[in-house]
């Protein structure tokens, strides 16, 4: 259940971060409200997860899965390019997260 809540938190973080580009510096109302609401929900759920899971494990998972999903969102929704070094960096981040979770 804790990991399911963590995934929900990550989902809202990815949504908020993806909408952040649409806010145009917080000048567009609806994307701004979506971003702020998503971040609020994300952090609230994350705070509940932290009652049951260690901080280092939780944040490593939240950060790395969020990074990968935001990268995918950037490619899919904003047509951003990704390079071989970027892919290598993502693999290293994921590898580090797996090590933290396993050990």
What does the pLDDT look like over 14-34, one tens digit per residue? 999 999 999 999 999 999 999
Tell me the C-alpha distance between 36 and 29, whole Å.
11
What does the pLDDT look like over 26-68, one tens digit per residue? 999 999 999 999 999 999 999 999 999 999 999 999 999 999 9
- Token pair belonging to 84: 């071989």
Residues 69 and 14: beta-carbon distance below 8 Å? yes
Which residue ranges make up each domain of the chain? 2-102
């Amino acid at each position: 259940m804790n990991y399911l809540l963590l995934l929900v938190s990550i989902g809202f973080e990815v949504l908020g971060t993806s909408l952040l580009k649409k806010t145009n510096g917080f000048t567009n109302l609806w994307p701004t409200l979506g971003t702020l609401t998503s971040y609020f929900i994300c952090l609230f759920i994350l705070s509940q997860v932290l009652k049951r899971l260690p901080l280092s494990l939780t944040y490593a998972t939240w950060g790395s899965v969020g990074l990968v999903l935001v990268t995918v969102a950037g490619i899919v929704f904003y047509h951003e390019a990704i390079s071989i070094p970027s892919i290598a960096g993502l693999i290293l981040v994921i590898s580090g997260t797996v090590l933290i979770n396993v050990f």
